Amino acid sequence: MEHFKNVKDSQVVISELMLPSHSNFNGKIHGGYILSLLDQIAFACASKHSGAYCVTASVDTVDFLKPIEIGELVTMKASVNYVGRSSMVIGIRVEAENIQTGDIKHCNSSYFTMVAKDNTGRSVEVPGLILKTDNQIRRFAKSIKRKKMKKKRVQEFHETDFSSEQYLHILEDHKVKIERNS
């Protein structure tokens, strides 16, 4: 008998105050630090859903929309958006709050693909997902769409019949100069 879980049963929310030690040379919170937090919450959410140890298989999208300032309270909200046999797509929303004014800004949305593993490192099957809202259905469907687009990108990238001549027209409107050695 297949096992299914509600989306809300594995949702994880973390909040952390951004300190000067988290900043880059420009005085903003370092993107690498945010990536580390994203990976942690993706792990927690995926492990909670699967009941297994999980590893990061890929980071599909990380768009830094707005900078995060020192002293802001960052809140990350993670949900399982999609499940395969042993993989899960974890959607994460990052918001930063100015704790003096209460203003909240959306800083980042990310999608991490996590894979459940057993003690020997073999992939294990994860529970199915019970979708109850239009938003949950939309997120699952969009994950399927992103997965298909990713598969197509990987296939195109690994084409073996590459000839630079067939790509020259693509380069015409870009800041590039081609100099070939004779």
Return the closest-CA partner of residue 88 out of 122, 49, 120, 51.
Answer: 49
- The pLDDT score that the predictor gives to residue 158 is 80
Higher pLDDT, 162 or 21: 21
Is the pLDDT reported for residue 162 higher than 80? no
Is the pLDDT reported for residue 167 higher than 90? no
Is the pLDDT reported for residue 136 higher than 70? yes
Q: Do the strands 53-64 and 87-97 form a parallel or antiparallel pair, or are they unpaired?
A: unpaired
Q: Which fold has domain 4-160?
A: Thiol Ester Dehydrase; Chain A (3.10.129)
Mean pLDDT computed over 22-34: 95
Is the pLDDT reported for residue 1 higher than 60? no
CB 71 within 8 A of CB 30: no
Q: Give just the sign of the alpha carbon dihedral 84, 144, 142, 152.
A: positive
Please, which pLDDT band fits residue 58 given cuts at 50, 70 and 90?
A: very high
Q: What is the pLDDT of residues 85-103, one digit of tens each?
A: 999 999 999 999 999 999 9
- The pLDDT score that the predictor gives to residue 110 is 95
Mean pLDDT computed over 102-109: 97
DSSP 141-164: HHHHHHHHHHHHHHHHHT-S---G
Domain boundaries, given as residue ranges, for the chain: 4-160
In sequence order, the 6+-apart residues with CB closer than 8 A to the CB of 169 are none
Mean pLDDT computed over 69-86: 98
DSSP state, residue 99: T
Is the pLDDT reported for residue 51 higher than 80? yes
CB 137 within 8 A of CB 131: yes
Give the global pTM: 0.88
